[in-house]
A and B are shown apart, each in its own frame.
Chain A
Amino acid sequence: MAELLRFRDDEAVDHPAVTVDSFLGQSNANAVRIEPGDDARALLPHLDQVSLVEVNFPVFGDGRGYSAARILREAGYTGELRAVGDVLVDQIALMRRCGFDAFEPDKPLDDADVETALARWPHVYQPTTDGRVPIRTKRHE
């Protein structure tokens, strides 16, 4: 069981992320943490200096973080996007599709369960920035 589940090859940022407010108030941080009520778009002018964005899920049913993730990826953010908090195995396939490439759940996930969950869906209906070819495109190739 890993505390941090990561789908990236680069070195993980090893210092704590700062809040969006303090990030916007100082220029040298490269790790920032988005809470559900924060506007992910506030980070867009500064993406080239960010290496890690943590998106907090205080409760798994609060889905605002999915939109935050997609907004960052759609804007071209390529750094680490880490889901933290109440992150359960039943949500991580959706989170991967929204652009998350790291997970730091409050309760560590079982490796085998993660593998099963991520291999579950043979196809996808919607295009996202994860690059998977959606069904509606496959049908017409």
Chain B
Amino acid sequence: MYRYDHYDQAMVDARVAEFRDQAQRRLDGKLTEDQFKPLRLMNGLYLQLHAYMLRVAIPYGTLDSRQMRMLADIAEKYDRGYGHFTTRQNIQYNWIKLEDAADILADLATVEMHAIQTSGNCIRNISSDHFAGAAADELVDPRPYAELLRQWSSFHPEFSYLPRKFKIAVIASESDRAAMRLHDIGIRIVEKGGMLGAAFYVGGGMGRTPMIAPLVRDFVPLDQLVTYAEACLRVYNRHGRRDNKYKARIKILVHELGAEEYTRQVEEEFAHLLGQGIEPPLAELERIKDFFPDPAFSTDAPTDIDRSDSAFALWVDRNTHPHKIPGHASAVISLKPVGGIPGDATAGQMRLMANLAERYSFDECRVMHTQNVVLPHVRMADLHAIWTELEAAGLGSPNLDTIEDIIACPGLDYCSLANARSIPVAQRIQERFAETGRTEVLGELKLKISGCINACGHHHAGHIGILGVDRKGVENYQLLLGGSEAQDTALAKITGPGFDEEGIVDAVEKATDVYLDQRQGGERFLDTYRRIGMTPFKEALYG
């Protein structure tokens, strides 16, 4: 894992001092809320319906047990005893007092964490593949590149007042587990002629105008990676729309200019910036890479496990992912217990996850963009002990990538932008499918719920998506089908008129009926939808 040196620490400490000063000026009335807003936002502090919300950065989702324990401590000391893991691999606390915010940041700084640029119109936390360094299918570990970009983007003097927020994801395998092409910049580390480089996809995003990022450059040499990113950002900062907040994301610029013209402008800027000494020395990339060595895996770890306990066997089948080292696996801790709040964990659960990471996973865990937590490097022989402890803590749900593994935004229960509640709908759907025993029958089925068109719940990218809207003062839920955020990225299409809260649960069930009736061979829901199209679903829903 990356560790701060005295430079990194000094920067984070300076930020804490700066924010303490800004928050005090606000509390003293020397700053208006309008003036304070962009400052607090750049430190992850939002004003929500009931309280301040603080979003803490977890760079590329990676954290150790010490950091996870601090997250638990903060939940207890400053919040209501829990935290909420987000779709960008961060954590947020929903019940924060402005008076406490600087103290929380100071506590975080003691474990090399911060809330820098977790909101605001700047470059946000860099996300990555949650199986980085563990997945059998990756080319290299993408996290050193994410860390290089984290440092480049932190307190960037030119890009702190962009037209709108800016999200970057870095992956290094053909499989996409980070929704890479739905980011403002998606980077895939690739190999060409024996050399490593970066493919740049620019202008993706969800929100009210979802776009899949086009490929802008198929190979940027690694010693020009940061310079190319700087060129992409400069063209955006100069020419991105600022007249309308809903058209200010880079996807609109790329769409309006056309990918070809945007690329031409980037290449022109890039050619200029190559002469400006933007790129860090390769020695710096090598220094960062040294923080991400393979852990000391045992080379003779046993690969067979006792599957006689059927509940355990189901969890292994559902919640573990193949590891590059035989006898190991990545084990996913589901934060989607039936009837719970997707992504929430109590302080006690966080401490348990920290303990398991320390004992069984080389002191490392990862936050997944699906709002779960993974122990990336566990011995298969330890899976039963891990599962036993998880079960006892209510964290053993065997539902990864099933219809119970719902991504949901906070919705109208917390968010001042929302038009409808998301969490209760997620809970009703989980309960319906758990009761009928359908979850396992359906297999992989990614369901995502947003409580407004800003799409924080990724409904555009769900195999089944649900969008909550306000219809004449009543919550109404639209159903979408056919989205994907994986390597086969696709945007879901709306089925037709929306449903009320009870009706949407029935509608989801009807859609799964169509699938079960029509599926062939080993097709997933998404495969069947792609083969048969929307019509049979529409007939079942509205016929």
Task: Give the B-binding residues of A (Cβ under 8 A).
Answer: 36, 60-64, 66-68, 70, 74, 88, 90-91, 94-95, 97-98, 116, 120-128, 134-140
Contacts and interface: CB of A to CB of B under 8 A. Distances in A.
B14 interface: yes
A61 B120 CA distance: 10
Nearest to A57: B161
A63 B237 contact: yes
A125 B152 contact: yes
30 contacts: A61-B38, A61-B121, A61-B161, A62-B242, A63-B159, A63-B162, A63-B237, A64-B237, A64-B238, A66-B157, A66-B237, A67-B234, A70-B158, A74-B272, A90-B22, A90-B39, A94-B158, A120-B14, A122-B10, A122-B14, A124-B155, A124-B157, A126-B152, A126-B157, A127-B278, A128-B158, A136-B281, A138-B7, A139-B7, A140-B287
Nearest to A93: B157
Interface residues of B, number: 39
A126 B519 CA distance: 54
A94 B157 contact: yes
* Those 3 A-B pairs whose CB atoms lie nearest each other, nearest first: A63-B161, A97-B157, A136-B280
Given A63-B162, A135-B7, A74 B287 contact: no
A contacts with B: majority SS: loop
Nearest to B275: A74
Given A98-B157, A127-B276, 7 more contacts: A63-B161, A66-B161, A67-B158, A123-B11, A125-B151, A125-B156, A134-B280
A36 B7 contact: no
A36 B242 contact: yes
B114 to A, nearest CB: 13
Contacts of B163: 63
A67 B238 contact: yes
Nearest to B287: A139
A125 B11 contact: yes
B539 interface: no
A91 B277 CA distance: 24
A95 B156 CA distance: 11
B260 interface: no
A140 to B, nearest CB: 5
B119 to A, nearest CB: 14
Contacts of A140: 281, 283-284, 287
B356 to A, nearest CB: 34
B297 to A, nearest CB: 29
B165 to A, nearest CB: 12
Interface of B: 5, 7-8, 10-11, 14, 17-18, 21-22, 35, 38-39, 121, 151-152, 154-163, 234, 237-238, 242, 272, 276-278, 280-281, 283-284, 287
A121 B14 contact: yes
A123 B18 contact: no
B125 to A, nearest CB: 15
B39 A127 contact: no
A106 to B, nearest CB: 13
A122 B11 contact: yes
Nearest to B8: A135
Contacts of B278: 126-127
A124 B155 CA distance: 8
Contact of A126 (B156, B242, B287): B156
A66 B39 CA distance: 17
A98 B7 contact: no
Nearest to A128: B157
Contact of B18 (A98, A120, A136, A137): A120
A128 B152 CA distance: 12
B19 to A, nearest CB: 11
Given A63-B160, A90-B22, A123 B10 contact: yes
A140 B7 CA distance: 12
A94 B160 CA distance: 8
Nearest to B148: A136
A134 B159 CA distance: 17
B21 A116 contact: yes
B284 A139 contact: yes
A123 B161 contact: no
A104 to B, nearest CB: 18
A125 B238 contact: no
Nearest to A98: B157
Contacts of A62: 161, 242
Given A64-B237, A122-B10, A137 B161 contact: no
Given A66-B157, A122-B11, A137 B281 contact: yes
A88 B15 CA distance: 17
Nearest to A65: B161
Contacts of B159: 63, 66
